[in-house]
Amino acid sequence: MRVLLISHTCQSRVEGQPKAFEIGRIGSVDLCVLVPDRWKHYGDWREADVPENPPFKFELSPVWWPWTGPGQFYLHWYPGLAKLIKDWRPDIIDLWEEPWGLVSAQACQLRNKHLPTCKILSETEQNIDKTLPPPFESIRSFTLRNTDFAIGRSTEAVDVLRNKGYRGPAEVVPNAVDNVLFRPMDREQCRRELGLNHFTVGYVGRLVEEKGLADMVDALESLDDQVELLFVGSGPMEQALEARAAEIGRSDSVRIMQSRPLEALPSIMNAIDVLALPSRTTPSWKEQYGRVIIEAHACGTPVIGSNSGAIPDVVGDGGLVVPERDPAALAVAINALRQDPARRQAMGCAGKARVEAECTWTRVAERMAAIYESMMSSGRGQ
């Protein structure tokens, strides 16, 4: 079966292409991946990474409106998509784009016009049931009316689809991690390389308010000076975190490292004792998955997460869940794991086992191929 995967995420060699590589290696799938030639990623323009010897057709295409003011990247579309659909003639178009993105509606409209037997798969991470501003709510409605199968990154994301009127088949398919890169390493060596001497709670990602990083610093007021925080990333909260640490007299317990490439993160995940992700839900955002959780789990590192969005499901038996915006509860959880090395090890093992069972790129590709097969054996429409 021929599958056209439309995905700006597959522009990146480390973010999206591992999924394409694993799907492309499945013998029943003849895969073509369409990516934009330019993209704005967290404020910076970047060009696509061209994969080496991919087991799929890699279509690098000009894109219109890759970044359009308040619409950001949700108004991008491909002027050459009609020709690609007519020439490639896919059996399935997999939209690894949000259903309210203009490119999703474009693909549905072109499918209807040029290849009506082709089926549409729509993937989403949106886990907040909210009404989008024009024209995005109308675009989402059109896409979902034309979708033959839907994938949510969490159960909440599928619930949002249902609340927006989608009645077709749907499944939850998680994010994935490269478990060859992220793996258990010599923890003591990793700690020495980073100069860690105390019990270390780590965070990896953007330094932004909604990640609950202030709660991590505030938790230090209930913890002794044998507990340190390590923040790895960059963002607007850097100075605020340092100022708050100084205010409570714990500057020596807070260390901030600038963002590191993906290849450098496994040693950090192995060096820390616990990863924390105390995200805070806002009216417009809540944690959609938390890929950093499965990166830690793949290294055998336990996680403490808040109850924001999908975090509890992703943490599972691999850590502890605390209420949002509750530094005292976070401190209690940190102390509980600090004082019980056997429990930390058991949680790390549980997280690693779950990653291997469900969250490697190979496992996700197998799930996707099975979904493609089910779509091929069913009729069109919801």
Mean pLDDT of 186-210: 97
Inter-residue contact 24 to 48 (CB < 8 Å): no
Q: What is the pLDDT of residues 64-119, one digit of tens each?
A: 999 888 888 899 999 999 999 999 999 999 999 999 999 999 999 999 999 999 99
Q: What is the pLDDT of residues 248-265, one digit of tens each?
A: 999 999 999 999 999 999
CATH architecture assignment, domain 2-175+360-376: 3-Layer(aba) Sandwich (3.40)
Closest CA to 250 of 227, 280, 232: 227
CATH superfamily for 187-358 is Glycogen Phosphorylase B; (3.40.50.2000)
Mean pLDDT of 2-21: 96
pLDDT of residue 173: 97
352/298 Cα distance (integer angstroms): 5
pLDDT of residue 43: 77
CA 325 vs CA 212, 213, 216, 292, 330: distances in Å:
7, 10, 10, 20, 9
Q: What is the pLDDT of residues 300-358, one digit of tens each?
A: 999 999 999 999 999 999 999 999 999 999 999 999 999 999 999 999 999 999 999 99
Give yes or no on whether 2-175+360-376 and 187-358 have one common fold: yes
Inter-residue contact 194 to 163 (CB < 8 Å): no
Sign of the dihedral defined by the CA atoms of residues 135, 137, 138, 139, in that order: positive
pLDDT of residue 382: 47
- Domain boundaries, given as residue ranges, for the chain: 2-175+360-376, 187-358
Structure tokens at 36: 């934009």
